Amino acid sequence: MTSMATTRADDRKSPPDPVPAARAVGVRSVLARHPLVAYAVRRFGLYLIEMWGALTIAFFFFRLIPGDPIQTFIQTLQQNYVYNVQASAEVIARYQHEFGLDGNIFVQYLHHMKKLIIDHDFGPSLINYPTPAQDVIMQSLPWTIGLLGISAVIAWVAGLGAGAVAGWRRGKPGAEVATNLAIMLGHVPFYFVALILVYVFAYSLGWLPARSAYDSNIPVAFSPQFIGSVLQHGILPAASIVIIGIFNWLLSTRMLMIPVLGEDYLLYAEAKGLRPGDILTRYALRNCYLPQVTAFGLSLGFIFNGNVLVEQLFNYPGLGSTLVTAIQQLDFNTILAVTDMAIISVLTINLILDLVLPFLDPRVKYWG
């Protein structure tokens, strides 16, 4: 399966052999002499297999759901445009072709994969016909990336710091309270926190808005008022993600820190008279933060799951809301596009992290 990719990657990646006499023929020996290349090729092959598998499962999953999207679409047309004529067979066939719904499911699958891989096209969206599904997504994506991206990074950085301190000062009352709180709350879904925050800050105190992403009275522009309004509306949803995120990262960082704390080089650093803060950040944390980089990449996919709920709760115009609307209207192209994009981004982030990690940390050895 990967032999084709192997040959191509070798032609590009392997440096000229310093010992011409040792130049053996064949892919196998080149790979044996360049374990890093072999690792990269194998990892990339796995990436392609996983990608194909996940996209295929997603496609068949959504197509096997009962329901006739074309009928739904024509009904919507009739309601919206008082379009009272009964849809003819030709009209239905034309829309079926347009939405990639003609032929049996395997023909549809090949059609979908071909459009996805060659044209990078997910087909037209049903809810916003004839806008392509990817354009519908692009309208909501910035909101989601802005809200989630920023809060996820804040949570990760703060959680890493808190976890390092909690591990460093373990046994001390403050650190133990924080750890136990994290055990209690680390896996609580973040829309619980969101609900409580909304109740307290939006309804009881009336300090912050409870719904939507910006004040609709302010024109959408790159003005200070508009940006201020967006930030104000983002505080509550972001806070709910950050609070739970910090607890989660605190726990896992602490678990990584504790084995490191017994190591000899920390004792040595202490004996040299380095300040505890320096030992913690430059010696202890440095040696255990990399797994957390990988975990962060993986967590992006899971954030997507919970994000749907937070966006619904706050009526936030992001990807999650688009997805829920699309599912309610049987908009297959948009549903698939959102899911496929989530799959592609999680797998790609993981691939990049796995390929870059050996260069960041010399102890990481996946090959040889």
Partner 1 sequence: MTSTATIGRVLRAPVGVVRSSPKLAGGLIVLALLVLASLSSPLVSRAIGHGSDPVAVAAYERWLVPSPAHPLGTDQLGRDVLSMIIGSMSTSLQIGAIAGVISTAIGVVVAFLAGYLGGWVDAVLSTFTGILLVIPTFPLLIALSAYAKEVTLFQVGLMLSIFSWPFAAKIIRSQVLSLRTRPYVELAKVSKAGAMEVIVTELLPNLAPFIGVGFASAALGAIFGLVGLEVIGLGPSGVIDLGHIIYSAISTGALTLGAWPMFVVPIGLLTLLFAALNMVNIGLEEVYNPRLRSER
Cβ closest to partner 1, residue 198 vs residue 285? 198
Query: For residue 90, with 0-12 CB atoms within 10 Å meaning exposed, 13-18 middle and 19 or more buried, which class applies?
Result: exposed
If one asks whether residue 58 binds partner 1 (CB under 8 A), the answer comes out as: yes
Count of residues interacting with partner 1 (CB under 8 A) = 53
Distances (CA, A) of 66 to 100, 144, 290: 16, 29, 45
Question: CB within 8 A of 245, min separation 6: which ones?
Answer: 151, 152, 154, 155, 156, 159, 190
Per-residue binding string, partner 1, 250-289, x by CB under 8 A, is -----x--xx------------------------------
If one asks whether residue 54 binds partner 1 (CB under 8 A), the answer comes out as: yes
Out of 17, 305, 352, 365, the residue judged to bind partner 1 by CB under 8 A: 305
Distances (CA, A) of 299 to 106, 184, 191, 292, 296: 33, 19, 17, 10, 5
Spatial contact of 37 and 31, defined as CB atoms under 8 Å apart: yes
Helix (H, G, I), strand (E, B) or coil at 132: strand
Q: Give the shortest CB-221-to-partner 1 separation in angstroms.
A: 31
Per-residue binding string, partner 1, 216-255, x by CB under 8 A, is ---------------------------------------x
Out of 93, 145, 183, 356, the residue judged to bind partner 1 by CB under 8 A: 183
- Applying CB under 8 A, the span of 28-36, 155-163, 228-236, 304-312 interacting with partner 1 comes to 304-312
Give the Cβ contact number of residue 23 at 10 Å: 12
**H runs (alpha helix) in the chain:** 3-13, 27-33, 35-63, 69-81, 89-98, 105-114, 133-144, 150-168, 173-185, 190-197, 224-261, 264-271, 276-278, 290-314, 319-328, 332-360
Looking at residues 194 to 213 of the shown chain, list those that interact with partner 1 (rule: CB under 8 A).
195-196, 198-199, 203
Looking at residues 321 to 350 of the shown chain, list those that interact with partner 1 (rule: CB under 8 A).
323-324, 327-328, 335, 338-339, 342-343, 346-347, 350
Q: Which residues bind partner 1 (CB under 8 A)?
A: 46, 49-50, 53-54, 57-58, 61-62, 65-67, 170-171, 176, 179, 183-189, 191-192, 195-196, 198-199, 203, 255, 258-259, 301, 304-306, 308-309, 312-313, 323-324, 327-328, 335, 338-339, 342-343, 346-347, 350
